[in-house]
Amino acid sequence: MELSKEVSLQSYNSFNITAISPTVYFLNELTDLEQLPDLTSKPFYILGEGSNTLFVDHLAPIIIKPNFKGVDIVEKNESYIVTVASGENWHELVNLCIEQEIYGLENLALIPGSVGAAPVQNIGAYGVDFSDFCVEVKWFDFINKRVKTLSNQECNFSYRNSIFKQALYNKGIITEVVLSFPKKWQANLSYAGLNDLEIVPSARQVMEKVISLRSAKLPDPNVLANAGSFFKNPIINENKLTDLLRVYPNIPSYRQQNGQVKIAAGWLIEQAGLKGYCSNGVGVHQNQALVLVNYSSNDGKEIVNLAQYVQQQVLIKFDILLSPEVRMVSAQGEKSFDSLLVKDERV
């Protein structure tokens, strides 16, 4: 295990915020886990590639940074079983699978972040979720100091959520994920943007289309600091949708299995007049209003202030409360968005 003191996290978060952590534990081997001190009484945060994290103070808590590597592929009669260490990069895994003619992850191309972060928020895009392929997650339990195996069901996956954000939060570390890909493959072209592809595209063609769609709309964090979608798409009930449709017949909505309806937060933000809005070095992206960008600020609080403003404007116009997808981390550890908000006279 490597240990560094007084570390600037600027290169470890895609919002490019210069928070300082008192100690960063870099875990390179599984055996490093046994050497981790007991951190239960101290604030700490497990950081992947930092592409969904906002440091809101100039100080950050203790950071644990898993960097386990390795991919193992086993061919079965009807499927491939792929076991991947949590420190691998997600997009490199998607590429590797396509190269090996293992298909299924093509819709999830170019999602920033590590493999270990994928189950935590059940990443998803273009009609496909991580949970569709996950068989098991291996997780090191801080209490028993042993790696446990959680089945897909035990992970409690839902939209951008899992047990790792809930009951198992900060109680251990994901070390590996086990994925299964049936050899019988069919392209998932349900999502707008993919349905204008050739009649039967190859998995590589689907991946290339996803890459071109994402590159056209979403800013590259290496060029313009951001953490992808800042808010989750809100879920409303049928009555609320009926009310909204009377005024906004074109509102993008996606019916859920439980009868509720998911609404495009990016559309709500754009309709609230905020697409391209800028203030104090941060702003709402001009091509995808769901993405908040950092042009020049060193202070994560500016992003929080902007997010609060966006939340308020959408609430005033639509009576819908957006909640962030991005995780907020202060010197005292992870915080809820609400706990960071200041009372604002603009409401």
- The footprint of ligand EPU (CB under 6 A) covers 125-126, 191, 217-218, 228-229, 232-233, 252, 264, 266-267, 270, 275, 288-290, 325
End-to-end CA gap in the chain: 49
In the complex with ligand EPU, the residue whose CB is nearer, 138 or 327, is 327
Nearer to ligand EPU, 142 or 159 (CB): 159
Q: Enumerate helices (H) and strands (E) in the chain, giving the number of each.
A: 8, 21
Distance of CA 91 to the CA centre of its chain: 13
> Which residue lies nearer to ligand EPU by CB, 135 or 264?
264
* Closest approach of ligand EPU to the CB of residue 124, in Å: 7
Contact 236, 320 (CB under 8 A): yes
The residue (of 58 and 160) whose beta carbon lies closer to ligand EPU is: 160
Smallest distance from ligand EPU to CB 269, Å: 6
> Which of 126/139 has CB closer to ligand EPU?
126
What's the min distance (Å) between Cβ of 226 and ligand EPU? Answer: 9
Contact 20, 291 (CB under 8 A): no
CB 224 to ligand EPU: min, Å: 14
Q: How far is the CB of 345 from ligand EPU (least distance, A)?
A: 27
Helices 90-99 & 203-217 angle (0-180, nearest 10): 150
Q: How far apart are CA 53 and CA 327, in angstroms?
A: 5
Is 265 within 8 Å of 232 (Cβ atoms)? yes
The least distance separating ligand EPU from the CB of residue 23, rounded to whole angstroms, comes to: 29
> What burial class does residue 115 get, using C-beta atoms within 10 Å of its C-beta: 0-12 exposed, 13-18 middle, 19+ buried?
buried
Q: Which amino acid is residue 88, in one-letter code?
A: E
| Torsion 195-201-207-209 (CA) sign | negative
Indicate which residues carry an active-site annotation. Answer: 160, 229, 325
CB of 172 to ligand EPU, least distance (A): 24
Nearer residue to ligand EPU within complex by CB, 114 or 229:
229
DSSP state of 107: G
* Residue 26 or 248 with smaller CB distance to ligand EPU: 248
Length of the chain: 347
For residue 17, give Cα distances in angstroms to 14, 35, 338.
8, 29, 20
Structure tokens at 48: 């992947």
CA separation, residue 95 to residues 46, 92, 111, 283 (Å) = 26, 5, 12, 32
Q: Where are the alpha helices (DSSP H) in the chain?
A: 32-35, 90-99, 117-120, 203-217, 238-247, 265-271, 300-318, 337-340
